[in-house]
């Protein structure tokens, strides 16, 4: 089914327009986007409950660590599904939960491979202490690995190069925009987490996890619009979908 009110995604945007258009896209497709992101809620709730109920510190640390790893994988999958939904929006089609997750599962191996490469290199620099500036430099250059894999259908290694190519020449701007977008998404989560501490554990954990699910689509959409902006500024060829 075609979307008669297509939102153009692949164009130049300043920070204000990135934020505004990210909210516009998210609000227009809120039911589909939020339903995709809701998969992160159960493990978020479980993490809070287990941390509260288990009294043995060693057991608690082990159980919560396993849940947190699962949460990372689920969040990666949800972000990938949201990117697949944005591909549909970009093509003028309405996003669909099932199709988005089909695409995400089809690329999950490549996504994990790409993120492991990023993590390995960044951690390798960070553990040397003096290499922390280089770790930050690499991290910013590789911010768009997931976009490269899900939108441009690259392999894991090629995704790192595609992301770095988009950022080259705009490193400081990329860092600044990334910080602002992260704060816009992170502040509501931080507030919800603080409020959750004054609530019964189940209610508080549900509030915190739900806020994570609510902010994830905005952050993924905004970062993707920024990725398109960087490519449109840097590349001479058309970045519209084939």
Residues 82-113 have pLDDT tens digits of: 999 999 999 989 999 999 999 999 999 999 99
Q: Give the largest Cα separation in the chain, rounded.
A: 59
pLDDT band at 126, cuts 50/70/90? confident
Q: How far apart are CA 156 and CA 146, in angstroms?
A: 9
Distance of CA 41 to the CA centre of its chain: 15
Quick check: 18 pLDDT over 80?
yes
CA dist 190 to 100, 183, 194, 196, 215, Å?
28, 10, 6, 10, 11
pLDDT of residue 235: 75
pLDDT of 117 above 60: yes
Least confident of 67-76, 145-154, 166-175, 181-190: 67-76
pLDDT of 32 over the 90 cut: yes
Establish how many alpha carbons lie within 13 A of residue 158's alpha carbon, considering only the half-sphere containing its beta carbon.
9
Mean pLDDT of 20-25: 96
- 230 Cβ contact partners less than 8 Å away, ≥ 6 residues apart: 144, 166, 167, 170, 174
Confidence of residue 242 (pLDDT cuts 50, 70, 90): very low
Q: What is the mean pLDDT of residues 41-66?
A: 70
pTM of the model: 0.89
User: Could you tell me the pLDDT band of residue 237, with boundaries at 50, 70 and 90?
Assistant: very low
pLDDT at 111: 95
Q: Mean pLDDT, to the nearest integer, of 66-89?
A: 91
Angstrom distance (rounded) from CA 115 to CA 41: 22
d(CA 215, CA 222): 11
Question: What's the Cα-to-Cα distance from 208 to each of 20, 33, 196, 214, rounded to whole Å?
Answer: 24, 18, 7, 10
The share of the chain scoring above pLDDT 90, in percent, equals 67
């Amino acid at each position: 089914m075609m979307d008669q009110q297509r939102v153009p995604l692949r164009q130049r945007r300043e920070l204000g327009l990135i934020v505004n258009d990210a909210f516009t896209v998210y609000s227009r497709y809120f039911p589909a986007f939020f339903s995709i992101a809701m998969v992160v809620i159960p493990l978020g709730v479980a993490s809070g409950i287990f941390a509260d109920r288990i009294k043995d510190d060693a057991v608690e640390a082990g159980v919560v660590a396993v849940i947190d790893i699962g949460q990372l994988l689920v969040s990666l999958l949800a972000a990938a599904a949201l990117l697949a939904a944005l591909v549909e929006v970009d093509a003028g089609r309405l996003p669909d939960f099932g199709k988005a997750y089909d695409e995400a599962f089809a690329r999950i191996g490549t996504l994990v491979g790409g993120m492991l490469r990023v993590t390995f290199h960044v951690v390798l620099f960070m553990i040397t202490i003096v290499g922390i500036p280089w770790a930050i430099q690499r991290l910013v250059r590789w911010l768009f690995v997931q976009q490269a894999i899900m939108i441009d259908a690259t392999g894991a290694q090629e995704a790192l190069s595609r992301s770095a190519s988009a950022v080259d020449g705009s490193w400081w701007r990329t860092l600044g925009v990334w910080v602002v977008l992260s704060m816009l998404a992170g502040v509501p989560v931080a507030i919800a987490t603080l409020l959750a501490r004054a609530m019964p554990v189940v209610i508080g954990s549900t509030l915190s996890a739900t806020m994570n699910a609510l902010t994830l689509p905005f952050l993924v959409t905004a970062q993707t619009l920024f990725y398109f902006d960087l490519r449109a500024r840097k590349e001479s060829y058309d970045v519209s979908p084939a």
